[in-house]
A and B are shown apart, each in its own frame.
Chain A
Amino acid sequence: MSAQDEEIVGKAYDGRLMRRLLGYVRPYRAAVVLATLAAVLHSAAAVAGPFLNQVLIDRYLAPTHRPGAAGFLAARLPQNPYRGITLIAALYILALVLGFALDFTQTYIMQWVGQHSMFDLRRDLFQHLQRLEIAFFDRNPVGRMVTRVTNDVQVLNDMIASALVAFFDDSFVLVFIVAILFHYDWRLALLTLSVLPLIAFAAFYFRRAVRDSYRRMRAALAHINAFLQEHVSGISVVQVFNREAQAQEEFRSINRAHRNAWIDAVVAHAIYYPVVDILSNLAVAGILWWGGTSVLQGRLTAGVVVAFILYAQRFFRPIQDLSEKYNLMQSAMASSERIFKLLDTPVALASPAHPAAVSDRPGRIEFDRVWFAYKGEDWVLQDVSFSIEPGATAAVVGHTGAGKTTLISLLLRFYDVQRGAIRLDGRDLRAFDLQQLRRRFGVVLQDPYLFSGPIAHNIRLGESSISDEAILHASRSVNLHEFIEELPQGYDTVLRERGNELSTGQKQLVNFARALAPQPPYLILDEATSSVDTETELRIRAALNHLVKNRTSIIIAHRLSTIQRADQILVMHKGRLREQGTHQQLLRLRGIYWRLYQLQYKDQELASDSVPAPSLSSP
């Protein structure tokens, strides 16, 4: 799944893709049969008008007594022209009413089928995205996946709504018209249809001509959107760096490309429509001449010629916008290609067939000679072994890129280790059910992510078994409650996207409450690095005490206070576990931890003339 996928311009019809799409229609096949039936009947009603006119003219307006001219209907009409005409008008009205009802039925059923198929397709896509492993999302940007579920399915929907529905109906109408024309007179019918190849030819050339300008137009529009998005978001930067004039200049050229692509398309349209117009009227001219001559020679009736002329106009109408439908089909095929490619991406990391149960009491975490790389042999963790006893707290320290966050991702089985094993109470993680395993962990990630919606919803996170009391309790114990109480709507206060109306510290506290609410036996915490004000800092620190109580915890620590409280400190350096022990033990070791610590100490020395050296053993 790559950026090139976005530029797929494929065939307008691909049997393989079409069959898979039809798979989504299959559950609703009864409805499709019904709609098809309605479409056939509607087409019959839709072609009644010219036929009734023919009967009217030949029976009453320009009566002829040639055999064969009087058809099935004409023979049954009364002698009296006034009654006969009224009868024909009544039949016509009947055809109109039936046509209206059948057309609506047909369209609604087809759209109903289309909507439900698209519902199923969207659901399949979303469910598949929920199953795909994290590694997949490292490779594929979020925006592109959103496009799959929304826009690409929408394109299919548009195809169904406008192309497919009309296609069904139009083709039946065409079949009926051709049948009637041949029934009237096969020579005149052939003459009428003789312009068809020419129209097909014109449509082909037109499509080729507009294809390029449509492509350019789409590219230019994407360009305009990207430019605007970027320059509106970064308007302050544009202004403070005096880039207004350049921005306008750049925009003008993008805008010009958009306009020119459109104007090319306008030219193509301006040629195509009149050409089709000429060709279809050429057929009418042929009907006039040949039909007129035949009438004069007594071979045809005036009514038939009128019917031919009226049918010809109806006949060429759907062909006129054939190329638009072609474009629609083409982009629909490209979209379904992308959709199925995503659906076909196998899930590389899943639960075993017969999972072991995960205990709901704090257990022992063990890393046994773990090796891990995100890509190839680019080892992020090398031979890492340690264990955390039930109920104990381990702090992981080390600088950026040491592999700290990777430890957490592996523990949650976002990725599988390449060598070695991670065990929970002596059992390999891979033996457990993924969901059950993860539910045993309370997790606070470094970026405190909030979802739009009420605060309570953010703490509960869709788990209906978490009671309001549990939420209250959780937020009280992490010092969040009093802040929430101050909000106008309390726990029902609706947050917008990412919860940006809260400060970073507040967001962190909400994440703490979220981790605590289900009372998990294990805790994983990636401490946020970003600075918060002192008061929030104190709250967070107090909350932390609550979080680790009676839990096996692993914390990526950035704060000295956290590190000192830990039962065990794991010092990661360049993907290896280099040192482990308590704060005092590690200091005595005079190794990496000691150096990390010295950095802090050195800064203290700088100010030692004015500030008493802070006591590091105090909490």
Chain B
Amino acid sequence: MPRRQLLTLVPYLARYRRRILLGLLILLFNVAAFAAVPYILKLVFDHLQHGLSPRRLLIYVGWFLAAILLRAGLQYLQRLILISTSRHIEYDIRNDLLQRLTTLSRPWFQRMRTGEIMARATNDLSAVRNMLGPGLMYSANAIVLFVIVLAVMLRLDPRLTLIAFLPAPIVILSVQWFGKRIHDRFERIQSMFAVLATKVEENLAGLRIIRAYAREQSEIAAFDELNREYIRRNLRLVLLSGAFDPLLAALIGLALVLVLWFGGRAVASHQISLGTYVAFNAYMMQMSWPMIAMGWVINLVQRGSASWSRLREIFDQPPEIADAASTDRSLQAVRGEIEFRHLSFSFPGEPPAAPPRLRDLSLRIPAGSSLAVVGPTGAGKSTLASLIPRFYDAPRGALLLDGRPIQDFPLAVLRRSIGLVPQETFLFSDTLRNNIRFGEPAAGDAEVLEAASIAGLAPDLERFPRGLDTLVGERGLTLSGGQKQRVAIARAVLRQPRILILDDALSSVDTVTEESILERLREVMRGRTTLFISHRISTIRHADLIIVLDHGRILESGRHAELIGRAGHYASLYEKQLLEEELQAV
């Protein structure tokens, strides 16, 4: 399975095939120059014993210099070409990954945690790059060097060659054996590190509680325990990694001992020359790196292909909500009439036995009118709202827009005509201006300010020293909950949407401000469809139609006065709220 998945990397490589081939060709010559060096040493030492003219020696030194200069130049080109190509490929894959992410729909993002997606885009991608860059280069290097050196050594002395290479398989196997285990232990350290970080984060986020309950000591004790486990895992790794390098040194040393023992006896009995003996020593030292590299590369490939198959999970995930063959591309605008027709809905992946989130819901919102939805937490209010921008898909025919199944509209056209203020305000760490014109990047300051004023942000803007240039988020200003909500309202209003959805969008705004925002909204939303979701009756009193939702069903519907008159759920809700609504500012 992973092997077939590795084939999907071929297109990324193919884009750079000329560079890669050139790089490999250079590598071939580079290695050949490298392998020439011990042979030059052999010539020097062979002749040194039997009288060598200084001129001759100078010539050999000249050859030596030529070989290393050639090698250095080729090494430069090889690194430049092969390693930078891997960076280009990483860049391509990462771009493709984001492109894919933007097309995936909400159910998928709810299954995947953010941290997991981030890990794939960074760590996994980095493992893939290591496989394609250093992995490819070093394995090619090792193979070529191995072949050339082996050929030369066999020509010099086949018996000694075989003896010298006896430890080679052990080196490769032990590199691989250790590599895998070291990696596993390393992963265990990483996961402990995450636990440790989470502990500190939670401790500091819940600082006031800890202090108020004077539980610092038990927190310190709990931290100590995690801290201890963390170093325990680290030392378990050291047990392996600390043995690994000395073991490699010893194994390679073993090859040199074999050369010394058998080679030395062969020189003593005049079977080989001193030069050959020196060359063997030099070759074995050259070979030590490829032997290590082979085991190392095997691990790189194992890790890289595991990472690539994790990345493939994202690439192979088809967008669950997207334009289909049935999409009518001629639909380029939305009027704003919304109709639910016997709509029943459950979230994808919910057990069939679980009660549906929305049950047999029928309702028509004429274009340009306003609908308000009230009801207790978990009644299905936000679920209902999330079907309109198609965050989830309603069964075909159960949700109609302008009299047609909502799926007929191209997704981009549909969403372009919606202004959404979500329940949980999400702003980007950018300037206020860019946050407000998020949906209309071309909007000028006049429009941005107008939208801000509709959302009741104008007084706040005056107080910010940098006005619209105020940065929001970690590196900038921390906005209050109410300010964030109003920025989100401005962002939605600026689009002049055909359909405006306010999902509990004024919950953190005081009632006085709320009233003035609603008044401005009624003005600008004249002729447009508005959907209010709220806990607060003050927010929705003026809606053209109010529905009371509970357990996914409509309990009551009508205008405010009618519903109050009916003395049902709405009226009692209203009564309760009047009694218990928070006291507001004077």
Contact = CB atoms under 8 A, between A and B. Distances in A.
Nearest to B277: A61
Contacts of A225: 118, 122
Contacts of B281: 53, 306, 310
Q: How large is the interface on B (under 10, 10 to 19, 20 to 34, 35 or more residues)?
A: 35 or more
Contact of A263 (B87, B218, B274): B87
Contacts of A61: 264, 267-268, 274, 277
B79 A273 contact: yes
B420 A240 contact: yes
Interface string B300-318: 0000000000000000000
A296 B60 CA distance: 15
Contacts, number: 423
Nearest to A571: B583
B214 A438 contact: yes
Interface stretch (B141-149, B219-227, B290-298): B219-227
A584 interface: no
Interface string A419-443: 0000000000000001110110101
B173 to A, nearest CB: 17
A414 B208 contact: yes
Contact of A243 (B214, B239, B429, B438): B438
A587 B302 CA distance: 77
Contact of B64 (A284, A293, A600): A284
29 contacts: A62-B49, A82-B268, A88-B260, A93-B254, A99-B250, A107-B238, A107-B242, A111-B234, A123-B223, A129-B200, A141-B474, A142-B205, A143-B474, A224-B94, A232-B114, A232-B117, A239-B391, A244-B103, A246-B441, A302-B45, A435-B214, A438-B214, A441-B212, A451-B202, A452-B198, A463-B218, A529-B582, A531-B535, A599-B586
A33 interface: no
Given A232-B117, A461-B215, A503-B378, 9 more contacts: A61-B268, A96-B253, A129-B200, A134-B208, A443-B209, A443-B212, A497-B202, A599-B584, A611-B574
A400 B510 contact: yes
A585 interface: no
Nearest to A610: B564
Contact of B91 (A154, A236, A255): A255
A81 B257 contact: no
B350 interface: no
B376 interface: yes
Nearest to A433: B214
Given A119-B228, A237-B422, A309 B84 contact: no
A99 B581 contact: no
B136 to A, nearest CB: 14
A229 interface: yes
B429 A614 contact: no
Contacts of A56: 260, 264
A137 interface: yes
Interface stretch (B177-185, B358-366, B410-418, B446-454): B410-418
A7 interface: no
B202 A85 contact: no
Interface stretch (B4-12, B65-73, B340-348): B65-73
Interface stretch (A23-31, A264-272, A380-388, A479-487): A264-272
Contacts of A251: 94-95, 98
A437 B538 CA distance: 43
Interface stretch (A13-21, A201-209, A319-327, A558-566): A558-566
Contacts of A167: none
B428 A434 contact: no
A454 interface: no
A241 B493 CA distance: 12
A350 interface: no
Given A61-B277, A141-B474, A243 B439 contact: yes
Interface string A231-258: 1111111111111101110011001101
B332 interface: no
B61 A533 contact: no
Interface in A165-208: none
A232 B122 CA distance: 14
A46 interface: yes
A374 to B, nearest CB: 14
Interface in B38-71: 41, 44-45, 48-49, 51-52, 54, 57-58, 60-61, 64-65, 68-69, 71
Contacts of A146: 197, 200-201, 204
B54 A611 contact: no
A592 B377 contact: no
A476 interface: no
Given A96-B250, A285-B61, A449-B205, A292 B583 contact: no
A130 B219 contact: yes
A149 interface: yes
A443 B278 CA distance: 80
Interface in B212-254: 212-216, 218-224, 227-228, 230-231, 234-235, 238-239, 242-243, 245-247, 249-250, 253-254
B215 A234 contact: no
Contacts of B18: none
Nearest to B389: A240
Nearest to A537: B580
A607 interface: yes
Interface string A214-226: 0000000100111
Q: Which of B44, B121, B201, B580 has the most CB of A within 10 A?
A: B580
A614 B581 CA distance: 13
A-B pairs, 6 with minimum CB distance: A462-B218, A399-B585, A274-B72, A241-B439, A103-B246, A270-B79
A49 B221 CA distance: 51
Contact of A288 (B64, B109, B211): B64
Q: Which of A88, A134, A275, A533 has the most CB of B within 10 A?
A: A533
